[in-house]
Amino acid sequence: MNIIITGASSGIGYETALHFSREKRHKVIAISRNKDKLDGLLDAAKIVNPNCNLIPLVYDISIPNDKNELFLLAKKEMSNVDILINNAGVLINKPFRELTIADFEMIYNTNVFGVVKTIQTLLPMMGKPASHIVNIGSIGGVEGSMKFKGLSAYSSSKGALAILTECLAEEFKDLNISVNYLALGSVKTEMFSAAFPEAKAQVKPQDMAKYIADFALNGFHFMNGKIVQVSKSTP
């Protein structure tokens, strides 16, 4: 399978790329703006599987650069994209009254507009024969779920991504492309720890990576346009 993962230099994206790399049949393009961490990912993948097929790609999806650049970089490594996992995300924990428009723009540039750009760029490489887009969201972006103080910018961006998922699933039906959204609960990542230094996450990133990988490979056989809650908390 030809797989592209954004936000692959740490946390869930890192572990998901590493998980796929265990099997040589998977070719993985791991995207991040952090070259040093991507180099570390490649080293770790080679330890797990010396014959791994992982390609680090330094690219910042939040910058409104030429979309054709990402397309050419991906096309150089693979003829088509079977799975696209939009995992890259940023989070700010700050009371709403203190948030600035710049804060909202920074979050939306990665969590929403970066996803839009990535999908639009890679769309010509998808649907042949079938493709699955997995948008990594948050339980906080789901209507009626438990909300947390300080996350209005982050959670609203993930809510926008959830609705985008439903829209694209309908729009891409004739293209043989399925689009689903995983609304994750707390996972013990660097981003979570930085935002909530005193909180304990429910799930290890390695365990969540296994779930995401399996869903990416098989979920589209059973669902499309779905917001799937992956959390131990209720509601």
3-state secondary structure of 153: helix
Rounded CA gap, 27 and 12, in Å? Answer: 18
- The C-alpha angle with vertex 72 and arms to 69 and 74, in degrees rounded to 5, equals 110
- DSSP class of residue 79 equals S
Report the 10 Å Cβ neighbour count for 207: 13
For residue 71 the two structure tokens come to 């397309």
Q: Of the candidates 125, 118, 113, which has an alpha carbon nearest to the alpha carbon of residue 177?
A: 125
Pairing of strands 131-138, 177-184: parallel
Set 14, 59, 108, 154: catalytic member: 154
Sheet holding 27-32, edge to edge: 54-58, 27-32, 2-6, 83-86, 131-138, 177-184, 227-230
DSSP state of 215: H
Our answer to whether residue 211 is catalytic in this structure is no
Chain center to CA of 157: 13
Kindly list the catalytic residues.
154
